[in-house]
């Protein structure tokens, strides 16, 4: 049985008024996801990491719809750059970005 994994891709855009290599929203998103994990709703699959021109966070442990709702909430956190998207994949996938791509934020979430 495969385990659904949702990758949350956030563009690595410069933060206004901060050096180009400063991305405070990464820590904010990680804290947000850990808090959700502590509540028991989802699992943070692995530490986030830079991939190409995006930073990718990984969540699993719930149904697709719930994981996509979490991804949508991440995309609307203050300071998170616009242009985030999710990829619904499999925890055993060998590469990032292989799966169904979903624009964020989701309408109505």
pLDDT tens for residues 64-87? 999 999 999 999 999 899 999 999
Q: Which residue has the tokens 């933060």?
A: 15
* Distance, CA of 3 to CA of 84 (rounded, Å): 23
Residues in the chain with pLDDT values less than 70: 1, 14-21
Tokens at residue 96, please?
């990032």
Q: For residue 36, which phi and psi values (nearest 5 degrees)? A: -65, -40
What pLDDT does 2 receive?
72
What pLDDT does 16 receive?
64
Region for residue 79 given its phi and psi (left: phi exceeds 0; alpha: psi -120 to 50; beta: otherwise): left
What pLDDT does 94 receive?
79
What pLDDT does 21 receive?
66
Model-level pTM?
A: 0.91
What pLDDT does 108 receive?
81
């Amino acid at each position: 049985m495969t385990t659904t994994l949702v990758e949350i891709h956030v563009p690595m855009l410069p933060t206004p008024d901060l050096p180009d290599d400063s991305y405070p929203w990464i820590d904010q998103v990680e804290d947000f996801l850990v808090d959700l994990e502590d509540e028991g709703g989802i699992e943070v699959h692995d530490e986030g990491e830079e991939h190409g021109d995006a930073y990718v966070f990984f969540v699993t442990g719930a149904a697709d719809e719930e994981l996509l709702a979490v991804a949508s909430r991440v995309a609307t956190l203050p300071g998170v750059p616009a242009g985030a998207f999710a990829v619904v994949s499999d925890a055993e996938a060998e590469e990032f970005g292989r799966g169904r791509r979903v624009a964020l934020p989701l309408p109505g979430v």
